[in-house]
Amino acid sequence: MAKRSIPGGLASRARFPTLVVFLAPALIVFTALVIIPVFEAAIFSFYKWNGLGPMVDFRGLGNYLELIQDAIFHKGLLHNFIIVIVSLIIELPLAMALALIVSDRKFKGAVFFRTFFFLPYMLSEVITGVLWQFIYHPQYGLVKTLFEALLPGVHPPALMGSPDTVLWAIMIVIIWKYFGLHMTIYIAGLQDIPQEQIEAATIDGASKGQIFRRIILPGMRNAVQLSIFFSIIGSFQVFDIVWAMGKGGPANGGETIVTYLYTTGFVRFNVGYGSTIAVGLFFICLLFSFFYERVIAREAT
């Protein structure tokens, strides 16, 4: 006896209670921890408020006009863009190169090196920042030891003590910590490429560069796009490492948007203006996400 099929509308209505039961807890948590704080920050941004007592000093768009003219915010935004560019042109290519090396079947010890390169990502950001503070220490750090061994008589620079070098010192730490994550993403992407294509191209006389450009890179498009998305969004949200390595100083030389937000809102107790910075960061990330979905992700499909 043939089974009777359930119409699509009835099936959807029958599944609705199950969807509600499973999605309601996640929706409640997301609303409480994300949606409500976003709206609250938007409301706070219209006031001059220290976080204590009622909000009575309404400023309207005054905080936003101040933000547009804020030189420290401009510097933090510039630093975030520098981190984005350095991540895209150094961190991601480095991760790709290492992924190609450790994914080679002829490479001995591939499992060990995959684990070794991924270990920095497993460290806490705060621990990473404190660790590299000791490495950069001008009196007994590893950098000083290397300078004395390789360049006797040359005084090592105080990388974390100068506004001209602190950002570059922080970017070295960011690359060291996060390239293992992108390498793992690329390794997963390489596993989706049929080895038969690469072997056939090799037999036909294709060079390694041609194989990479015409087979490997197109086959890893989704992995590359995901890596770019994580890299850019993460570059705008970087905080723990920068804060642990000097709180954005000296002289705002390592300042980022998030460290400036934290300093303004939670150190100086200017919650209203700190919320304005948070709203600005929210729209920057939102614009990039919109651009990513409309342009980059659409081109992949």
Amino acid at 261: L
Residue 301: predicted pLDDT: 56
Residue 267: predicted pLDDT: 92
Amino acid at 130: V
- 3-state DSSP assignment of residue 58: strand
Rounded Cα–Cα distance for residues 178 and 183 (Å) = 9
Residue 7: predicted pLDDT: 53
Query: What pLDDT, in 10s, does the model give residues 74-103?
Result: 999 999 999 999 999 999 999 999 999 888
Q: Which of 247, 251, 284, 252 has the alpha carbon at shortest distance from 262?
A: 247
Which two tokens mark 98?
């290492």
Residue 40: predicted pLDDT: 92
Q: What one-character DSSP code corresponds to residue 256?
A: -
Contacts of 202 (CB under 8 A, 6+ apart): 211
Terminal CA-to-CA distance of the chain, rounded, Å? Answer: 43
Domains and CATH numbers, the chain: 12-44 (no CATH), 47-300 (1.10.3720.10)
Which two tokens mark 138?
């001008």
SS3 labels along 185-243: HHHHHHCCCCHHHHHHHHHCCCCHHHHHHHHHHHHCHHHHHHHHHHHHHHHHHCCHHHH
- Cβ atoms of 80 and 170 within 8 Å: the answer is no
Integer-rounded Cα Rg, in Å, for the chain is: 25
Distance set, CA 178 to CA 87, 141, 166, 230, 231 (Å): 9, 22, 19, 10, 9
Query: What pLDDT, in 10s, does the model give residues 189-206?
Result: 988 888 888 888 888 888
pLDDT in tens, the chain (301 residues): 445 555 555 556 667 777 777 888 888 999 998 899 989 999 999 999 998 888 889 999 999 999 999 999 999 999 999 999 999 999 999 999 999 988 877 777 788 888 889 999 999 999 999 999 999 988 888 888 888 888 887 777 888 988 999 999 999 999 999 999 999 999 999 888 888 888 888 888 888 888 888 888 888 988 999 999 999 999 998 999 999 998 998 889 999 999 999 999 999 999 999 999 999 999 998 888 888 877 766 665 5
Q: Quick one: 241 exposed, middle or buried, by C-beta within 10 A (0-12, 13-18, 19+)?
A: buried
- Cβ atoms of 45 and 279 within 8 Å: the answer is yes
Rounded Cα–Cα distance for residues 192 and 190 (Å) = 5
Residue 1: predicted pLDDT: 46
Other beta carbons within 10 Å of 275: 25
Rounded Cα–Cα distance for residues 63 and 65 (Å) = 5
